[in-house]
Chains A and B, each alone.
Chain A
Amino acid sequence: MQISELPEIGTKYEIESPKGDKVAVIFLTTGEIELYVLESDAAKPTVTRLTTAEARRLGSVLTGALLTIEHEDVEVSFADISDLRIHIHVCPITKSVVGKSIEDLAIRKKTGVTVVAISRKGQSIVSPPPEMVFEEGDLIVAIGERAQIKACQQVILGPG
C-alpha cells in the first residue's frame, strides 16, 4: 500500500496487484471519495465517486464483515474466529407485543435471542434495558443463531 499526499486534492491510497493492476482510493478534500481501477493493459482507468456512506458500505464488504445479506438478515463473520457466525436480524414488531417490555416477553429466556437495539421514530436505542416497553412502529435489532432468530420471530413476535 502506497500513501501519498496530493495538496489541494486529497490523500491517495494505492495498491498494486501482482498482475500489475492498480487500485487507488482518493479521499478528496471535499469529503467525497474517488475509487480508481486501472488494469495493467488499460489505456484509461475506471473511476467512480462515492459518498462517505457508500464508501463505508463498500469497505465493509471488502473486509469481509458482511457475508450474506438476506432481506434484513445480516450474517457477520470474523477473520480471527473462523467458526463464529452471528446473525443480526432487523424486524418490525407486531401489534401483539406493543405495550410489553423485553422482560415481560422473556425473549432471551425463551429463544436465546438478545435484543441489541431498538429503532424508534428514526432514533436508535442501543442496548435497551429489559424494562423497556415496545411501542408501535419500533424496529428491533436482534442477534442470535439462525434457528434462535426463527424461534423468536415465531414465538414472540408471531408470524409476519
Chain B
Amino acid sequence: MNFLLDLAIVMVSCLALGLASKYLKQASIPAYIIAGLLLGKSGLGLISSEASYDFISWLGKIGVILLMFYIGMEFNYKGIKEPRRLFAGCTDFVVNFSVGFLLGHVIGLNLVEAFILASAVYISSSAIVISSLIENKRLIYPEAETVVWLMVFEDIILAILLVILTSIMAGSLAMIPVSLAATLLLIVFILAFIRRLSNFIAPLFERDDEIPVLLIFALIFGFSALAYLMGILLHCHISEVIVAFFLGSALAGVKSFRKLLGTIISFKSLFLTIFFFSFGMMFEFQFATLNAADFVLALLALIVLSILGKFVSGAIIGKRLHGSLETGLRVGAYTTPRGEFSVVLIMIVMEIGVLELLPSIELLLALVVTYVIILSIVGSFFAKHGNRISKRMMVGFNKLMPRAHR
C-alpha cells in the first residue's frame, strides 16, 4: 500500500486552500474541511483506497488528541474560579446549549441527538475567536478579557460534555455510571502518576535531544491506549481525548515542560489540519435520506437562532460585567464563530456512536458539517465587524425602545 500519493493530495490541497484563506483574511478551518469535501467521498474521490481513508483518519485523530492535550496544558484552573467569569461562562452555556437542544427537539431528533447538536452549536471556536481578537486589534478593550475567559470556560464544558457523551454511548443505561467511574478513576490516576513522577520526568524535558518529544508522545499514546484497554475490559467507552486533556493539564505543572510548547504547537497544527481534511473527506451527503427543503429550513433556523443566542448571552454578560449592553453585543459578535470543537465533538460521536441511539445520524451529521462551515465563515465576519454590528443593533434597539437606554 502506498500512501505517499494520498498524503501528497492531502498536504498540497490543504496548503493551497489554507494559503487562499489567509490571503482572503478568512478562517482556515473551513478551508481544510472544504478541501476534504472536494477531494474525498462526496467530491472527486481522489483518495485511492479504503486503507488510505483509514490512514488519513488516523493521522487526523492524532491531531484531535494533540489539540485536547494542548488545551489541557493551557487550561487555567485558578483564573476561571473568579465569580464574574463563572457567571459569564454559565450564561453562555445555558442560553446557547438550550437553543441547540430545543431546536434539535423541534426538528425531530431524539434526546441524545439533540444533546449532540446542542453541544456542537453551543461551543465557539477558540482558534478563530482568539486570532480574530488579535488581528482586529481588540485586545485593549475590556470585553476582550471577558471573551478570552469565556473560551477557557467553554474548554472545561467541552471536557464535561465529552465525558457525558462517551458515557451515554456505553450502550445500556446501566453502563453509564461504570463508564463515568472508569473515566474519573483514570483521570485521578494520571494526575497522581504525573505528580508522583514529576521529579523524575522534569529533567528529561530539559534535554536538548529527541528524548523530550519521545517522552511526550509515549505518555500521550500510553495513556490513550490504557483508556482504550480499560474500555474493552469494561465494555464501555473511555475517551482518549479526555485523557489527553487531563494529561496536558497534569504535565503543565511539571517544571521545564513549557519549553516544549512550540514543539507541541507545530505537531498540533500539522495533524489538526489533516483532521479537518479527514472530516470533510469522510463525509457523504446522503441526499436520498434527507428532505432537501426540510434540511435547508432546519439549517437556516439553526444558523439564525444560534447567532441570536450568542448575542443574547453576550448582552446578559455585558450588562452584568461591563454595565453596557453595547459591550455585551460585541461579546456576542466575537463569540459567534464555531469551528474545531464542534467538529471534534461530532467526529467522536461518529466514531463511537451506537447507531440504535442515533436514528437520525445522517441528518445530524449533515446539519453539523454545513453548520460549522457556514458559521466559521459568517462568524469570522461577525467577529471582524463586531463593533459596527453592535452599534447598528444599539441604534435599532433605541428606536424600538426609546426609553430603555437613556
Residues of A participating in the B interface, judged by any CB pair closer than 8 Å: 4-9, 12, 14, 22, 24, 26, 28-29, 34, 36, 38, 43-45, 47
Contacts and interface: CB of A to CB of B under 8 A. Distances in A.
Contacts of B140: 12, 14, 22, 24, 36, 38, 45
B148 interface: yes
B130 A5 contact: no
Interface centre among A6, A12, A22, A38 (most CB of B within 10 A): A6
A37 B137 CA distance: 11
A6 B148 contact: yes
A7 B148 CA distance: 7
B203 interface: no
A8 B148 contact: yes
B139 A26 contact: yes
Contact of A4 (B76, B126, B137, B145): B145
**Among all A-B residue pairs, the 4 with the closest Cβ atoms:** A36-B140, A24-B140, A47-B137, A6-B148
A44 B75 CA distance: 31
Interface residues of B, number: 19
A13 B352 CA distance: 46
B362 interface: no
Contacts of B79: 5, 7
B81 to A, nearest CB: 13
A8 B126 contact: yes
27 contacts: A5-B79, A6-B139, A6-B145, A7-B75, A7-B76, A7-B149, A7-B151, A7-B152, A8-B74, A8-B151, A9-B133, A9-B139, A9-B148, A12-B145, A14-B140, A24-B139, A24-B140, A29-B261, A34-B134, A34-B139, A36-B139, A36-B140, A38-B140, A43-B387, A44-B137, A45-B137, A45-B140
Nearest to A29: B261
A7 B140 CA distance: 15
Contacts of A45: 137, 140
A38 B144 CA distance: 14
Given A7-B148, A43-B387, A47-B137, 8 more contacts: A5-B79, A6-B139, A7-B74, A7-B149, A7-B152, A28-B134, A36-B140, A45-B137
Contacts of B134: 9, 28, 34
Interface in B248-302: 261
Contacts of A34: 134, 139
Given A7-B148, A9-B148, A36 B74 contact: no
Interface in B365-406: 387
Interface of B: 74-76, 79, 126, 130, 133-134, 137, 139-140, 144-145, 148-149, 151-152, 261, 387
B387 to A, nearest CB: 8
B142 to A, nearest CB: 9
B76 A5 contact: yes
A29 B205 CA distance: 20
A29 B137 CA distance: 16
A69 B334 CA distance: 45
B139 A8 contact: no
A8 B137 CA distance: 16
B232 to A, nearest CB: 35
Nearest to B137: A47
Contacts of A14: 140
A2 to B, nearest CB: 10
Nearest to B78: A5
A86 to B, nearest CB: 37
A6 B144 contact: yes
Nearest to A23: B140
Contacts of A28: 134
Contacts of B133: 9
A38 B75 CA distance: 30
Contacts of A6: 139, 144-145, 148
Contacts of A9: 130, 133-134, 139, 148
Contacts of A36: 137, 139-140
B130 A8 contact: yes
A12 B76 contact: no
B78 to A, nearest CB: 9
A47 B140 CA distance: 10
Contacts of B148: 6-9
A4 B143 CA distance: 12
A101 B352 CA distance: 78
A154 B79 CA distance: 62
A28 B134 CA distance: 10
A7 B149 CA distance: 7
B123 to A, nearest CB: 15
A13 to B, nearest CB: 11
A43 B387 CA distance: 9
Contacts of B151: 7-8
Nearest to B130: A8
